[in-house]
Amino acid sequence: MRITQIKSGAPPLPERKKAAAYARVSSGKDAMLHSLAAQVSYYSEYIGKHSEWEYIGVFADEALTGTKDSRPEFQRMFAECRAGNIQIIITKSISRFARNTVTVLQSVRELKALGVDVFFEEQNIHSLSSDGEFMLTILASYAQEESRSASENQKWRIRKNFSEGKTYNLHMLGYRAVNGRLQIIPEEAETVKAIFADYLSGMGTESIVNKYTTLGVNISTSGLYRMLRNEKYQGNLLLQKRFRDNHITKRDMINVGQLPKYSVTDAHKPIVDCETFAAVQAEIVCRTEIYAPRAKPQERYAFTGIIKCGKCGAYYRRKHNNAGTKYEKVVWICDTYNSKGKAACASRQIPEDVLLMKAAEVGGAENIAGIVVPEHNKLIFTLKDGRRIYTEWQNPSRRESWTPEMRDTARQRRNMNYHGE
């Protein structure tokens, strides 16, 4: 009997996992760019140290809100995960990933179903580990409460300052806030006086904007109107005109009585005297009555202002295709695509009947807080109770979209062709 040993070849190398990082960066432009560059460098080096990982990139959103649907980079990252292009996500902490327990768990569960692991550095938790979800439930609740507490403390400090007649650290032409008090910047104050004088002389708003833009003053037409109406230029303050609704959505709201306002007279040195300021207000009213067009009330529909494009972030608008013909069809279309074309946004339109059908499946349009369209034929509903529902739809076939009149016309044409007419 002869036995020969067969030597095996080299064992196959283990497949490298495709790794990406997610971050939320400061909302300040310069700070955001610096923070993003620092985090890209950090995560490139961090992932590079793990030979079993392949670096894919960093997805970073501006730190305005922790909700998922309002973060385009978060949505893009999820689309890459669904396409199988990411297998592990590294993020600093639970609070960086999302600010409320529901969003954290929903996101992690969806990624878990896709086989994507999320590693939270600060808590040292892998979402795919056996006790990952249990720990995340507890820690996400703490993160949400910590965020709420920090937000309430900040609001308390701001409102306390308001009650004492102190403003926040605003930046406006002519003034700087120093320790809650406005101080005049002399050279800018002269520009402010000149703008008020130009307006009273009868100069139009566009002419004023063009004049001072040429002189290097960054101002828009809307900014000019806000400036001319700003009570701070006559030495007074009206505080808490706006507020944030909560620590999760952080929507900026106009204060129409929900919270107290604080009126402070002679709070600081004025740039414009009271007589000039009053004359400008009267001139604004006069011009408004003469020149303002009588705008027609804007029509609003069930989905107005709630459908957001997952590719460019613009809202969808209602449109009639082939208006005035028998082929007329109502669709919803991304505003960027509609105004600038496919080169600016590759999204596609959604038939209104499809939206109505899918909305009915989740309880009706009145129960929907928002809709994101991450890609064609896919919709992500956010309901008013906080739930998120992912759904898909298919374009109806051409035959199904035909009306009885269209079918009758086609039948007559076939008959004419058959009889040689």
Contacts for 132 with CB less than 8 Å, ≥ 6 apart: 108, 125, 126
**For residue 7, is it within any domain?**
no
Q: Please indicate, yes or no, whether residues 42 and 131 belong to a single structural domain of this protein.
A: yes
Q: Please indicate, yes or no, whether residues 286 and 334 belong to a single structural domain of this protein.
A: no
Q: Please indicate, yes or no, whether residues 179 and 203 belong to a single structural domain of this protein.
A: yes
The per-residue pLDDT for 19 is: 94
Domain boundary residue, one of 291, 317, 336: 291
Q: Please indicate, yes or no, whether residues 320 and 379 belong to a single structural domain of this protein.
A: yes
What CA–CA distance (Å, rounded) separates 18 from 39? Answer: 18
**For residue 8, is it within any domain?**
no
For the chain, report the end-to-end CA distance as a whole number of angstroms: 91
Q: Which residue has the tokens 């050279």?
A: 187
Q: Please indicate, yes or no, whether residues 177 and 129 belong to a single structural domain of this protein.
A: no
CATH of the domain at 243: 3.90.1750.20
The model carries a pTM of: 0.36
Two tokens, residue 350:
């959604």
Contact status, residue 259 vs residue 221, Cβ threshold 8 Å:
no
Q: Please indicate, yes or no, whether residues 168 and 146 belong to a single structural domain of this protein.
A: no
Q: Which residue has the tokens 């030597």?
A: 7
The CA-CA-CA angle for residues 32, 38, 39, to 5°, reads 90
Q: Is 94 helix (H, G, I), strand (E, B) or coil?
A: helix
Q: Please indicate, yes or no, whether residues 145 and 197 belong to a single structural domain of this protein.
A: no
Which of 232, 227, 239 is CA-nearest to residue 271? 232
Contact status, residue 199 vs residue 235, Cβ threshold 8 Å:
no
**For residue 28, is it within any domain?**
yes
**For residue 332, is it within any domain?**
yes
Q: Please indicate, yes or no, whether residues 323 and 281 belong to a single structural domain of this protein.
A: no
**For residue 155, is it within any domain?**
no
The per-residue pLDDT for 66 is: 47
**For residue 221, is it within any domain?**
yes
Which amino acid is present at 321?
A: N
Contact status, residue 45 vs residue 113, Cβ threshold 8 Å:
no
Domains identified in the chain, total number? 3
Which amino acid is present at 188?
A: E
Supply the DSSP symbol for 271: S
Q: Please indicate, yes or no, whether residues 22 and 146 belong to a single structural domain of this protein.
A: yes
Q: Range of 257's domain?
A: 164-291
Contact status, residue 410 vs residue 126, Cβ threshold 8 Å:
no
Q: Please indicate, yes or no, whether residues 203 and 276 belong to a single structural domain of this protein.
A: yes
Q: Which helix (H) or strand (E) holds 288?
A: helix 274-291
Backbone angles phi, psi at 309, to 5 degrees: -75, 125
Q: Is the dihedral of CA 64, 67, 69, 72 positive or negative?
A: positive
Q: Please indicate, yes or no, whether residues 327 and 378 belong to a single structural domain of this protein.
A: yes
Q: What is the pLDDT along the chain (421 residues), one digit of tens a residue?
A: 677 766 655 555 557 899 999 988 765 554 555 567 788 888 888 988 888 999 998 998 876 544 445 688 999 999 999 999 999 999 988 778 876 666 777 788 888 889 999 998 988 888 888 666 666 666 556 555 655 655 555 555 555 555 555 566 567 888 888 876 788 899 999 999 999 999 999 999 889 999 999 999 888 888 898 899 888 888 887 776 665 655 445 566 676 666 666 667 777 888 999 899 999 999 998 888 877 666 555 567 889 889 999 888 899 999 998 888 888 899 999 998 988 888 889 899 999 999 999 999 988 888 899 999 998 889 999 998 888 899 898 876 555 555 666 667 667 766 665 555 5
Q: Please indicate, yes or no, whether residues 334 and 251 belong to a single structural domain of this protein.
A: no
What CA–CA distance (Å, rounded) separates 402 from 154? Answer: 59
**For residue 182, is it within any domain?**
yes
**For residue 418, is it within any domain?**
no
Backbone angles phi, psi at 219, to 5 degrees: -145, 145
Contact status, residue 388 vs residue 98, Cβ threshold 8 Å:
no
CATH of the domain at 40: 3.40.50.1390
Determine how many CB atoms are found less than 10 A away from the CB of residue 108: 26
Sheet strands (E) in 237-292: 237-239, 242-244, 252-254, 262-264
Pairing relationship of beta strands 316-321 and 378-383 according to DSSP bridges: unpaired
